[in-house]
Structures are given as structure tokens and as C-alpha cells.
Amino acid sequence: MFCTAVWCTRSEQDFRTTVPLELLGESIKRHGSCASVTVVVLEGVERLSEKYFSLIRETYGFALIDFCQPFERILRQFPRIVAHYSRYERNCFLRWIVFKELFHGARFWHLDADVILHTSLDALAADTAGKTFMLQGCPVFVSIADSTWFDLYEANLRALEADIFGYSATAFEQAETLMQNARR
């Protein structure tokens, strides 16, 4: 299951400019992917028209999940993260809780919505079969073959929620060691 999370904060036109699902869809079509992408809407589904949803479903084969109401519950579970981080940052953190609720136990890949592919989703799935990893940066690509990754992520997110500054300080202290281990 390939997935991405999106949110619309202003208008459909602004959303279509900043979240280029049509470009992602074109790149998927260009490479003849059999796999499709599920788009999970976290906020602002009411700002997006049915005409737009029909376009991305029918033209590009995207499946859509309106997760706005359940996302409000998740926001309430993490009040410190909500208060401390920008909407973008908090949604990037909390989307993994959404994905865990929706897809825990399923083979899962995540693509940021602003990706343009130069290969098929099928080739990406084959190349990453059985692998769990995250390519960090902008954009993010994640492959999760071992769903315990979601449990570990949530445990660490809850630790961040409990003590943002302490957790961040510990992470900063561990960063160099982790980078050295990653180079091995």
C-alpha cells in the first residue's frame, strides 16, 4: 500500500499549487504502475471540491480517505506537540499515528505528495521488498515491512510529547553516535 497524507489549510487552488497530486499522478501513469496511492486527508477536506476529488480518483487512480474527524482525536492526544510545533511540523509527526491506525500490519510505503517519480511504484515495491527504512529529507520516502516500526515510532512520539525539550536534548546527544553507526 502506497500512501501519502495531505491537509488543506486555505483553498483548493492553494492546495493544488502546494500539493501537486496531479504531477505525482502523471508520473505514476507515465511509468505504468499497477500499484496505486492512497491519499489520506488530515484537515480541510471541506475546502476541496468533489470535482477535484473525482479528477484525482478517475484520472490518476488515487484512493481517498477522509480522516479529518479521527485526526481531531489524535490532535487532542498530543497537546504539547500541537502547542509547540507549527501545523506543518505537527502534521508531519502525527501522520504516522494516522498511518498506524489505518495500515498497521499491512505492507506500507509512504511518499510525500510532492514527489515526481522516475520509475514505477511496482519497481519501488520490488526494490524495497522486506525492507524497513526512512529516507529523510524533502521529500520523504518510507518503506515499512515490519509493522513494529509503527509501535516504536508511537512510543518515541509519546516520549517527545511528555518532555519535548528533554527528548530533543537526548536525541541531539545521540545524533553523532547514530550517524557513525549508520556509516558502518
State pLDDT tens for residues 114-129. Answer: 888 899 999 999 999 9
Q: Domain limits at 40?
A: 2-183
Say which range, 43-47, 51-55, 180-184, has the weakest mean pLDDT.
Answer: 180-184
* C-alpha span between 95 and 115 (Å, rounded): 17
Q: List CB contacts of 163: < 8 A, sequence separation 6 or more.
A: none
Q: What is the CATH number of the domain that holds 43?
A: 3.90.550
Is 64:21 a contact under the CB 8 Å cutoff?
A: no
pLDDT of residue 136: 74
Q: What's the pLDDT tens digit per position in 121-167?
A: 999 999 999 999 988 776 789 999 999 999 999 999 999 999 999 99
Among the residues of the chain, which ranges form H helices? 12-18, 21-30, 50-58, 68-77, 79-84, 87-103, 121-127, 148-162, 164-183
Q: Which three cell numbers stand for residue 77?
A: 492526544
Count of the separate structural domains present in the chain: 1
Report whether 41 contacts 66 (CB < 8 A).
Answer: yes
Whether pTM exceeds 0.95: no
**Residue 136: left (phi > 0), alpha (psi -120 to 50), or beta?**
beta
Mean pLDDT of 49-60: 96
